[in-house]
């Protein structure tokens, strides 16, 4: 058994090490540092026909810079649209009122996020405003089926003399 | 012919009795909290033997677990060209699951078994009844400091484990396998949520701390006061802790991460 002073020092070091580890996890590993300015953020709303697989907490970016996050997603029973609420960092409070919002995908397999494109109006978006110009998410299945349809139609038109589908599939 | 039913009934009744004793016991221990706060030195001595002496084991294990996660994760993720999410994988698995669970298992092996053996031996050598003779409550004087020391140490040890593990994964992923350093940290930061992941992991480790220490001190206090009884109690302490930790991990994970 060591003297009580040595024990106290060791316990102090232990508790400090544990707290430092927790602090490291909070600051270096998690997103706590970004969340801090959240309380004074302002809210804007956008309606989409289809949000694809957009999730709550997905980033909202302008010109590739994250300016906020999606705070809630709900469904409007009257218009059958998805209502997406975003909280924007108060630093970025000069977005024009005719800003448009589109749902984009980061990379081929990445997660979906909202990209805002500023318009040219002089008035700025304020808390609770709604973005009128929206563009739905690109659903991969729809894109592929549209591509295949147009491909099939195209080969039907010009491939009259050729020997059908086998030639087009090798293109 | 009725003998199997009698055995079943006996087993059920004795299990329920043991559960009842364990619950009364924990109430008694928790009532010792004011006394502990008045005599913090008792608690500190136990935090030293339960927590400080476990640091080395926990950090070395954490380092190796993190390094293995780095290697294995890299192998799988590079098939999809997604090596850059290695940091997310390492940090998420450590903070959510491996940190609390593996720390609790190591903790029950290193500290829980020692607590059971110590208390069981005190009972076998009649030190506990000796204290009662001197009108000192052994539960408050001996058991409560050990219990609260365990509850306090587990979350700290689990945080330490996760941190060392993330650094181990960083060392293997970025240092040896050449994953981009910036992507490793920024992807990790953007995907790991403070409340959903880190606070939930912390809650898990606190719950496991209570469970493991509770089982350890109760098995010691409830041991048959012979050398064989103490050895059985020590084995039971580790085995029950492992079962309880893994079972409760499922329940807690379902509550925390199963919702959406």
Quick: pLDDT tens for B86-145: 888 999 999 999 999 999 999 999 999 999 999 999 999 989 889 989 988 888 888 999
Please give, rounded to a whole number of angstroms, the shortest distance from the CA of A54 to a CA of chain B.
14
ipTM of the complex: 0.77
Segment of A111-120, A160-169, B154-163 carrying the highest mean pLDDT: B154-163
* A10–chain B Cβ distance below 8 A for any pair: yes
Q: What percent of chain B has pLDDT over 70?
A: 99
Confidence of residue A158 (pLDDT cuts 50, 70, 90): low
Q: Is A59 in Cβ contact with B162 (below 8 Å)? A: no
- Tell me the count of A-B CB pairs closer than 8 A: 87
As a whole number, mean pLDDT of residues B171-176 equals: 90
As a whole number, mean pLDDT of residues A85-91 equals: 86
Predicted local confidence at residue A157, as pLDDT = 58
Which residues in chain A touch residue B188, judged by CB atoms under 8 angstroms apart? 29
Please give, rounded to a whole number of angstroms, the shortest distance from the CA of B170 to a CA of chain A.
11
Q: Is A4 in Cβ contact with B52 (below 8 Å)? A: no
Q: Is A143 helix (H, G, I), strand (E, B) or coil?
A: helix
As a whole number, mean pLDDT of residues A31-41 equals: 64
Whether residue A3 is predicted with pLDDT greater than 50 in this model: the reply is yes
Predicted local confidence at residue A166, as pLDDT = 44
Q: Is B153 in Cβ contact with A21 (below 8 Å)? A: no
CB B108 within 8 A of CB B234: no
Measured between CB atoms, which of A19, A31, A109 is closest to B192?
A31
Confidence of residue B70 (pLDDT cuts 50, 70, 90): very high
Predicted local confidence at residue B107, as pLDDT = 94
Confidence of residue A168 (pLDDT cuts 50, 70, 90): very low
As a whole number, mean pLDDT of residues A38-67 equals: 82
Please give, rounded to a whole number of angstroms, the shortest distance from the CA of B120 to a CA of chain A.
20
Between B211 and A106, the higher pLDDT residue:
B211
Predicted local confidence at residue B115, as pLDDT = 93
Please give, rounded to a whole number of angstroms, the shortest distance from the CA of B92 to a CA of chain A.
9
Predicted local confidence at residue B260, as pLDDT = 54
Q: What is the mean pLDDT of chain B?
A: 90
Q: What is the mean pLDDT of chain A?
A: 79
* A12–chain B Cβ distance below 8 A for any pair: no
CB B95 within 8 A of CB B162: yes
Confidence of residue A66 (pLDDT cuts 50, 70, 90): confident
Measured between CB atoms, which of A10, A15, A29 is closest to B156?
A15
As a whole number, mean pLDDT of residues A117-124 equals: 85
Between B106 and A30, the higher pLDDT residue:
B106
CB A137 within 8 A of CB A52: yes
Tokens of B180: 């981009």
As a whole number, mean pLDDT of residues A156-165 equals: 49
Whole-model pTM: value is: 0.74
Please give, rounded to a whole number of angstroms, the shortest distance from the CA of A21 to a CA of chain B.
5
Predicted local confidence at residue A65, as pLDDT = 84
Predicted local confidence at residue A161, as pLDDT = 46
Residue written as token pair 């136990």: B46
Enumerate the β-bridge partners of residue A76: A81
Q: Write out chain A in H/E/C secondary structure.
A: CCCHHHHHHHHHHHHHHHHHHHHHHHHHHCCHHHHHHHHHCEEEEEEECCCCCCCCCCEEEECCEEEEEEEEEEEECCCCEEEEEEEECCCCCCCECCCEEEEEECCCCCCEEEEEECCCCCCECCCCEEECEEECCCCHHHHHHHHHHHHHHHHHHHCCCCCCHHHHHCC
Measured between CB atoms, which of A2, A14, A29 is closest to B189?
A29
Measured between CB atoms, which of B47, B153, B198 is closest to A26?
B198
CA atoms within 13 A on the CB side of B183: 11
Whether residue B82 is predicted with pLDDT greater than 90 in this model: the reply is no
Confidence of residue A143 (pLDDT cuts 50, 70, 90): confident
Q: Which of B43, B62, B40, B39 is nearest to B51 (CA)?
A: B43
Q: Is A159 helix (H, G, I), strand (E, B) or coil?
A: coil
Kindly state the greatest CA–CA separation across chain B: 72
Between A135 and B210, the higher pLDDT residue:
B210
As a whole number, mean pLDDT of residues B235-254 equals: 93
Mutate to test the interface with A, among B66, B84, B194, B203 (most CBs of A within 10 A): B194
């Amino acid at each position: 058994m060591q003297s009580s002073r040595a024990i106290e020092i060791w316990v102090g070091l232990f508790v400090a090490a544990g707290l430092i580890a927790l602090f490291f996890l909070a600051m270096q590993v998690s997103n706590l540092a970004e969340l801090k300015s959240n309380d004074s953020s302002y809210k804007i709303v956008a309606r989409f026909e289809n949000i694809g697989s957009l999730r709550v907490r997905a980033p909202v970016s302008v010109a590739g810079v994250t300016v906020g996050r999606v705070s809630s997603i709900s469904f409007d029973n009257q218009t059958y649209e998805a209502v997406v609420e975003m909280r924007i960092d108060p630093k970025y409070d000069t977005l024009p009122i005719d800003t448009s919002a589109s749902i984009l995908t980061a990379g081929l397999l990445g997660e979906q996020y909202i990209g805002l494109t500023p318009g040219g109006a002089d008035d700025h978006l304020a808390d609770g405003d709604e973005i009128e110009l929206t563009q739905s998410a690109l659903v991969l299945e729809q894109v592929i089926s549209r591509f295949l349809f147009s491909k099939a139609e195209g080969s039907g038109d010009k491939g009259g003399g050729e020997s059908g589908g086998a030639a087009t599939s090798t293109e | 012919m009725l003998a199997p039913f009698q055995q079943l009934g006996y087993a059920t009744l004795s299990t329920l009795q043991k559960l009842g004793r364990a619950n009364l016991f924990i109430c008694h221990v928790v009532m010792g909290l004011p006394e502990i706060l008045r005599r913090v030195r008792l608690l500190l001595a136990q935090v030293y033997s339960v927590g400080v002496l476990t640091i080395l084991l926990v950090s070395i294990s954490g380092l190796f677990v993190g390094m293995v996660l780095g290697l294995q994760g890299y192998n799988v993720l590079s098939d999809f060209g997604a090596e850059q999410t290695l940091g997310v994988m390492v940090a998420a698995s450590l903070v959510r699951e491996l940190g609390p669970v593996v720390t609790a298992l190591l903790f029950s092996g290193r500290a829980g078994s020692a607590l059971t053996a110590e208390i069981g031996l005190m009972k076998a050598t009649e030190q506990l009844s000796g204290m009662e003779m001197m009108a000192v409550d052994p539960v408050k004087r001996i058991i409560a400091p050990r219990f609260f020391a365990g509850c306090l140490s587990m979350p700290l040890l689990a945080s330490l484990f996760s941190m060392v593990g993330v650094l181990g994964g960083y060392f293997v992923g970025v240092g040896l396998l050449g994953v981009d350093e910036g992507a490793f940290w920024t992807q990790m930061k953007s995907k790991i949520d403070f409340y959903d992941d880190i606070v939930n992991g912390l809650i898990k480790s606190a719950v496991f701390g209570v469970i493991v220490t509770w089982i350890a001190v109760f098995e010691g206090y409830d041991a048959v006061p012979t050398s064989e009884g103490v050895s059985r109690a020590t084995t039971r302490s580790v085995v029950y802790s492992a079962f309880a930790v893994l079972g409760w991990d499922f329940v807690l994970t379902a509550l925390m991460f199963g919702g959406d």
